[in-house]
């Protein structure tokens, strides 16, 4: 629908995909250009990742989380965190295995294991749900015993955050029952309350059963570069390395060199990106409130998890998303795409600049006013051509 609308010349403001729009910092781009000039970097790369990048990953974990890792056995480079999760699923899963996955969740969390032949038990998350209680109940009633559980905080799509006190009883429980933990920490550096999200590996015992995936896409605005990494349990890292050795030769070496420069270099760019996302969040939440749509302010991630206004709740997230696209020229991600427990929400990604966000909120307010659920306003929708978009 979005593609058809744009092909017809409509100006669609797109909050649908979590596709960072900020430019990759220049020093990272410069390192890529420098590395690609060397013909030696054009050959096949190591599927585990070049040693310099694995050392940079471990240095990042030491500085950020005070966690000491072995770059030879506890770190591996992935072609984005999605590839790492999917390939680990192939490496450790047999048909009939049971996986425990949050719902709603990022689609690769369940589907990586579904594609590997596993059966999925969904653990509802969000307000009114205790993850630990859901985990205990699922294990009690699962035959055979679950193989692993997926965690994702800050969460995509809900933007929920947790602290180490959340992780500790889960680690203890999974150790007791011999269940692996797969932690997705892709949004570890996109937080807004001055409290950095923790790593599950900060709990020493977690290394016995847990592996953690992180992405360079959001932290350093490198989504198209397809580079990330996994750290933690040696057995799981070895399993991932083995299947990757069958399937690929690793990311292009200059990209890995540039990724090492990102992790080892100045981090001002990370703070600047965080500030931009926070400013966009504030504009979005305030603008939606003025339009008559009360949406919780996300403490982290690059998403707002918006409950469907009561007047439209009967439609479900897919039909409401279609309506927003048709009537307000705003694209969002329907919550049903993240699992049935997400159907009462839509997800808005902070990937448009402040000018476009304000325009979207005006469009939504006009639409709501016409539907009789927003205060009267004289503001009119005035689409702006994409080439005229203001800076972030």
Residue range 122-150, pLDDT digits in tens: 999 877 789 999 999 999 999 899 999 99
- Tens-place pLDDT, residues 284-293: 999 999 999 9
pLDDT interval class at 374 (50, 70, 90):
low
- Tens-place pLDDT, residues 36-63: 999 999 999 988 999 999 999 999 999 9
Between strands 303-307 and 345-349, the pairing is: antiparallel
Task: Give residue 158's pLDDT.
Answer: 96
DSSP codes of every residue in 70-118: -TTTSEEEESSHHHHHHHHHHHH--TT-EEEEEES--THHHHHHHHTT-
User: What is the pLDDT averaged over residues 151-159?
Assistant: 96
Contact 219, 196 (CB under 8 A): no
Euclidean distance between the first and final Cα of the chain, in Å? 26
> Which CATH number, 2.40.50.140, 3.40.50.1820, 3.40.640.10, 3.40.50.2300, labels domain 40-265?
3.40.640.10
> Average pLDDT of the chain?
93
* Among the listed residues 104, 101, 160, 99, the one whose alpha carbon sits nearest the alpha carbon of residue 341: 104
Contact 216, 226 (CB under 8 A): no
C-alpha span between 15 and 31 (Å, rounded): 31
Task: Give residue 372's pLDDT.
Answer: 83
The HSE-up count of residue 255 (CA atoms within 13 Å, CB side) is 23
- Tens-place pLDDT, residues 217-233: 999 999 999 999 999 99
pLDDT interval class at 371 (50, 70, 90):
confident
357: which 2 tokens? 């966000």
- Tens-place pLDDT, residues 60-86: 999 999 999 999 999 999 998 899 999
Among 29-38, 108-117, 121-130, 262-271, where is mean pLDDT lowest? 121-130
Which residue matches tokens 């409950």? Answer: 307
CATH class of 1-18+268-370: alpha beta
Burial class of residue 29 in the structure, from the number of CB atoms within 10 Å of its CB (0-12 exposed, 13-18 middle, 19+ buried): middle
Q: State CA 254 to chain mean position distance.
A: 24
Could you state, in order of their start, the residue ranges of all structural domains in the chain?
1-18+268-370, 40-265
């Amino acid at each position: 629908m979005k593609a058809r609308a744009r092909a017809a010349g409509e100006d669609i403001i797109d909050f649908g995909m979590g596709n960072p729009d900020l430019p990759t910092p220049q020093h990272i781009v410069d390192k890529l250009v420098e590395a690609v000039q060397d013909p030696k970097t054009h050959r096949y790369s190591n599927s585990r990742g070049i040693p310099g990048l694995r050392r940079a990953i471990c240095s990042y974990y030491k500085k950020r989380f005070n966690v000491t890792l072995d770059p030879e056995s506890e770190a591996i480079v992935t072609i984005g965190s999605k590839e790492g999760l999917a390939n680990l699923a192939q490496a450790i899963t047999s048909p009939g295995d049971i996986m425990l996955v949050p719902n709603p969740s990022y689609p690769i969390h369940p589907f990586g294991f579904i594609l590997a032949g596993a059966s999925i038990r969904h653990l509802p998350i969000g307000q009114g749900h205790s993850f630990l209680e859901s985990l205990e109940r699922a294990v009690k009633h699962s035959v055979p015993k679950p193989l692993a559980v997926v965690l994702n905080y800050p969460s995509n799509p809900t933007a929920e955050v947790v602290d180490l006190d959340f992780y500790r009883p889960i680690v203890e429980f999974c150790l007791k029952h011999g269940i692996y933990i797969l932690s997705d920490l892709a949004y570890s550096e996109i937080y807004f309350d001055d409290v950095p999200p923790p790593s599950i590996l900060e709990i020493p015992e977690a290394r016995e059963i847990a592996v953690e995936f992180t992405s360079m896409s959001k932290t350093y605005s490198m989504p198209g570069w397809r580079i990330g990494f996994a750290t933690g349990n040696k057995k799981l890292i070895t399993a991932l390395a083995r299947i990757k050795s069958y399937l690929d030769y690793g990311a292009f070496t200059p990209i890995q060199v540039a990724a090492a420069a990102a992790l080892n270099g100045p981090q001002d760019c990370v703070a600047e990106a965080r500030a931009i996302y926070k400013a966009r969040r504030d504009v979005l939440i305030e603008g939606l409130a003025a339009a008559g749509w009360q949406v919780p302010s996300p403490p982290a991630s690059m998403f707002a998890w918006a409950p469907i206004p009561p007047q439209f709740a009967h439609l479900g997230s897919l039909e409401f998303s279609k309506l927003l696209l048709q009537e307000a020229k705003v694209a969002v991600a329907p919550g049903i795409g993240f699992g049935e427990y997400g159907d009462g929400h839509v997800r808005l990604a902070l990937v448009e600049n402040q000018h476009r966000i304000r325009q979207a909120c005006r469009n939504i307010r006009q639409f709501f006013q016409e539907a009789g659920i927003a205060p009267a306003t004289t503001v009119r929708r005035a689409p702006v051509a994409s080439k005229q978009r203001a800076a972030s």
